[in-house]
C-alpha cells in the first residue's frame, strides 16, 4: 500500500503561516493528521509522483517559483519535463508548495489554508 493512501497526512513547514493555519483548521475540526516535516524528511521522486497524481496537477504547479533554488536551477525553462522538475523538488524540498493535505485518497494544496477543508 502506498504511503499516500495511508491515513490523513499534512506535508508541513512549521515556519510557514499558511501551513500552520491549515494544521490549526484541521485540529479545530478534530482532525489530527500525520504531520510530515517535508524539509526534514523530503519525499522522494516516487512519492512526489504519487502526490501529483492525487493532486491532479503537473509538477510545475507544485513548484514554488519564488525560491532561490528555482532561479538558480533554471526551472523557469519551459522545455524541462516532469521528471526534471520532480527530481529538482526531491533534491531541493524548499521548492515544494505547501502545505499539501492528503485525505481519503485525494490531496489538495492548502493555499489558502481553507482549501484543506475541501477534503473533509
pLDDT at 7: 76
Domain span holding position 112: 3-119
Catalytic residues: 16
Residue 12, strand partner residues: 37
Q: Are 61 and 96 in contact (CB under 8 A)?
A: no
pTM: 0.91
pLDDT at 10: 97
- How many domains are contained in the chain? 1
pLDDT mean values, one per 10 residues, the chain (120 residues): 64 96 96 95 96 96 96 97 98 97 95 96
Contacts of 55 (CB under 8 A, 6+ apart): 61, 62, 100, 107, 108, 109
Confidence at residue 1, expressed as pLDDT on a 0 to 100 scale: 38
Phi, psi of 93 (to 5 degrees): -60, -15
Going from the C-alpha of 112 to that of each of 21, 42, 101, the distances in angstroms are: 9, 22, 12
CATH number at residue 43: 3.40.30.10
Amino acid at each position: 500500500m502506498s504511503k499516500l493512501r495511508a491515513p490523513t497526512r499534512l506535508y508541513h513547514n512549521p515556519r510557514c503561516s499558511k501551513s500552520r493555519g491549515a494544521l490549526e483548521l484541521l485540529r479545530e475540526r478534530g482532525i489530527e493528521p500525520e504531520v510530515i516535516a517535508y524539509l526534514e524528511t523530503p519525499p522522494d521522486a516516487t512519492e512526489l509522483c504519487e502526490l501529483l497524481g492525487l493532486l491532479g496537477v503537473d509538477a510545475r504547479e507544485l513548484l514554488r517559483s519564488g525560491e532561490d533554488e528555482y532561479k538558480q536551477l533554471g526551472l523557469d525553462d519551459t522545455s524541462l519535463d516532469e521528471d526534471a522538475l520532480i527530481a529538482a523538488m526531491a533534491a531541493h524540498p524548499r521548492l515544494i508548495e505547501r502545505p499539501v493535505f492528503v485525505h481519503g485518497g485525494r490531496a489538495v494544496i492548502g493555499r489558502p489554508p481553507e482549501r484543506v477543508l475541501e477534503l473533509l
